[in-house]
Chains A and B, each alone.
Chain A
Amino acid sequence: MSEAISVPARPIRSASRVTPVTIFLWGLRIAALAVILYGSYQSISSGRLSGAQWRDLLIFGTSTGSVFALIALGYTMVYGVLRFINFAHGEVFMVGAMMAFYVANGLAATSLWIASPFVSLLIVFIAAMTTSASLAVLLERIAYRPLRNAPRLIPLITSIGASFTIQYLVSGLVGPSTKDFPRMEPLRGTINVAGSLIPTSRVVVIVVTVIVMIALYLFVERTRTGKSMRAVSEDQETAALMGIDVNRTIVTVFAVGGAMAGVAGALWGLVFPSLNYFSGFLPGIKAFTAAVLGGIGNILGAMLGGVSLGVVESIGPSLVLAGYDIPAFSQLKDVVAYAALVMVLIFRPTGILGERLSRDRT
């Protein structure tokens, strides 16, 4: 064998602590910051938009962000429990929105739509929530439960497959055409809030979101089921040993997340009255961004992340991009959202309120 008793010392090839990657990332941070600051300075100093217009953008962003926040809840809750990104959650939202559309369309043909808009909306919401919740539970049962102990990427790939399947099933069933949500007269006006006129539909979105969020918060913090949800997200095995039915809890998580996506779907119809089978993809990605931004696994974080993302997305193009005289900068709205996603994941994967889940080594 080897006769060498003492192994000679070896020169080290790369003992540097500062790697090119670190330098690159710092460069990226600084560049991003510089781009944002200079653009904002340019567009604010140009005075292109008045204070009122900025405020409108802010309100627009907040209401869109509320919808993102509701969808983000599904991502964040499922991630909290299963440590897995349910890529098909955007489709759960889309199916809820579709259901809302068909129910609203049916009601719009009756006298109820005019006579009592509140009851009509309630029916629309319940239909959308039930549909989305059932779909989410179905997905869990068929596609995810058998893979619970599989390597991490396998359920993720399955959920991509589920996302495609749902999209094209919907396209096949109801046709690929874009559907127009029926108008509801009482929602077309504006409401005077503190001296400024805000579209009623936007107010409704924000109010409904706040109510639903509070209800959810109470559910998770105060009820037995909520407690078992938190226990399962801490440690599945221990929770099971403590007598918690893990399967049932996970189903509940999917159902609640799905119901939230259903509410979001119905609200979406009030704000953006056009819808097709692909409408779930972008809001899904953005809601995921919102979930990460707020700190994935954290319910309050989802709310915070959703609203921040909505505002960034609505103000960002006018604030930053307009400063560079970019033609048709509204085309780049989604780039702002994706860039926010990338930046958040690169520089603060823990989010605003999150625990350190994104890099753990297990």
Chain B
Amino acid sequence: MAQVTAPSPARPVEVELRPAPPVDLGRAARLGLIGGVAMVLVAATGIVGTFQTRLLIDPILPLGLLFLYLLAFAFGWMAGKPPAALEGFAPARANSRNLVAGALAGALGGLCVGVLAALMSTFDLRGVFVQLSPQLLEILTFGLPLGAAIIAIVAISAVAGAIGAGVHLLPIRLKRSLLPALVWVMMFALFTDLVGQLFAGLSAEFLTDFLFTGRGGALTIVGAITVFIVVFVAYWLLGGRETTLRGRIEAMPRGQRTRFSLIAAAVILIILWFVPKVMGPFVSQVLDTAGIYLLMALGLNIVVGYAGMLDLGYVAFFAVGAYTGAILTSPQSPAFTPQLLLIVAIPFVMIAAALAGLMVATPVIRMRGDYLAIVTLGFGEIARILFNSEWLAPIFGGAQGITNIPDLRIGPLQLSTPQDYFYPIFLVVLIAAYVTYALQNSRWGRAWMAMREDESVAEAMGVNVVTAKLSAFVVGAVLASFGGALFGAQIGSVFPHSFDIVVSVTVLVIIIVGGMGSVPGVALGALVLIVLPNLLREFSQYQFLFYGVLLIVMMLTKPEGFIPSKRRAQELHADELSQDAWLDIYGDKPTTDATTTEPPR
């Protein structure tokens, strides 16, 4: 994304700045119509209806309509955004015209919903669009007669849009306190179970009783206001500080920084130790799933993020791990029942996965990126169909899968509950994260990255691309197979339908949302994308729709992910850093001198 930035203060600005162009109302109108289509789709796919049953704040705020009007808010925000500062123009300032733009976008969006409501009340569209039921109409129109309802919808959307645009008018410190406060209220309201469980685990049920309508109930108005005020004040105070935490850590001398990170690691480990105890079985189960996805994501991160090979059949390695583990441990395995302990079986699982990795990687070595993606997808599907087939049922159990996989036992420790499994899963995740990190800064990590950047040059510079590609695939496969083996043991059975292409795509979404090549990013991605849909049961049927939209939106706006790796973040600021002579339009600094005298930036 090339964006022209304002001249840096080091350069004397001689050019008279022209006033910035005002917000483009035509663009706002277009955004409004796009937003309207999005709102109509949200209603017509049944998201509004499904979410409506969930009260966020008792009794005023149901999730369905909130979601609908959040879209108006978002498009209002986009419409009211002051245009990026251009060279030669004064930086744009937000004013009431921005509010008008936001309101316009919102109103147009609302109008689309109004049209939908009118159509629904005139025709019965359920023959085609199954979700357009009278109940939905009732929700959309607030039970008002059609004319009044349309006016109300447009008005609410316009206000939501204007508020969205109004965000740009807020002073920065207020904005940085207000938005987190709202987000936190949303989180408390959405994850009532999680929060309730947390308070119960900490024996602080009185907080639950105070904030919510009851155990497992919705947030009360008082509760919402309390959360809002607490978070707002906290952020306000933090916002007053000169430096961020990150800046401080980076400013520390080396020894102190090491000590600090050791302490931080210890604290995190202690928190992790208590997580399953506090959270109870349901949340632990969700976290276990997230952990297994995280493990796969770390593996795929090596293949895609480091080595630049888009593997769409990654789930096959997960399946190989699960099936190898199941066959070696379960007494119900059809062909062959050594009934090993999982711990003993793990080396065999690794070997099987490594072989599978070699099998897939060898043929695709000389293949270019997009072809590689499709071939790996083919391999993944072949694996799933074979596991599912009658033909191989004597080995893999066909559609019935393999059941009765014994629980993980380590010495005298017999694991059974989701809480128990939390520990081995996160231990393996930590190991995988370490492995990822160690490899990144090694001879092979550099070879992978060089290959990702320019394969033929990497080869001409001495990188054996055959070995490099094979090793990336093998490491990725082994990590995924660990996940598979643990998954099988924890669930107690493996079925072929668990290894669908959507698993591969989910893992891909995780690393893309988090930030390719970045371990913390991948961790965040797994937490958000796996934990959220599992905790919000209403959400789960729209999970893949959201993943798809998220992929597109991320690629269009933030291809480096939310927590990009350091190099990706620098890439984003390419324009500021670039010293190319021909880009230096001011031309007052010849590059020859600049290269020797310029201080580090």
Contact = CB atoms under 8 A, between A and B. Distances in A.
Interface of A: 14, 19, 21, 24-25, 28, 84-85, 102, 142-143, 146-147, 150, 152-158, 160-169, 171-175, 281, 285, 288, 292, 326-329, 331-332, 334-335, 338-339, 341-342, 345-346, 349, 358-361
B556 A85 contact: no
B542 interface: yes
Interface string B291-320: 000000000000000001010100000000
Interface string B188-216: 00000000000000000000000000000
Contacts of B368: 358-360
8 contacts: A85-B370, A161-B549, A161-B552, A171-B545, A331-B389, A331-B390, A332-B391, A345-B374
B508 A102 contact: no
Given A152-B369, A157-B512, A172-B47, A167 B374 contact: no
Contact of A172 (B374, B545, B559): B545
B391 A327 contact: yes
B391 A328 contact: yes
Interface string B540-565: 00101101111110111001000000
A360 B366 CA distance: 10
A165 B548 contact: yes
Interface in B29-48: 41, 44-47
Nearest to B312: A160
Contact of A342 (B130, B378, B508): B378
A157 B385 contact: no
Contacts of B551: 157-158, 160-161, 164-165
Contact of A147 (B375, B508, B556): B556
A341 B378 contact: yes
B131 interface: yes
Interface string B370-399: 110111011101100110111100000000
A331 B398 CA distance: 11
Nearest to A347: B363
Contacts of B363: 24-25, 28, 342, 346
Interface in B582-598: none
Interface string B452-472: 000110000000101000000
A346 B375 contact: yes
B365 interface: yes
B373 A85 contact: yes
A21 B552 CA distance: 37
B142 interface: no
Contact of B544 (A154, A162, A168, A175): A168
B449 to A, nearest CB: 14
A345 B371 contact: yes
Given A172-B41, A285-B381, A345-B374, 17 more contacts: A24-B362, A152-B369, A157-B310, A158-B555, A160-B505, A160-B508, A161-B548, A161-B555, A164-B548, A174-B130, A285-B378, A327-B390, A338-B379, A338-B382, A342-B375, A346-B364, A359-B366
B367 interface: yes
A143 B542 contact: no
Contact of A358 (B312, B367, B464, B545): B367
A138 B501 CA distance: 26
Contact of B466 (A19, A154, A339, A349): A19
User: Which 7 pairs between the two chains have the least Cβ-Cβ distance?
Assistant: A161-B551, A172-B45, A164-B548, A165-B548, A168-B545, A328-B390, A175-B130
Given A329-B391, A331-B388, A165 B362 contact: no
B385 A331 contact: yes
B545 A164 contact: yes
A332 B370 CA distance: 26
Contacts of A292: 371
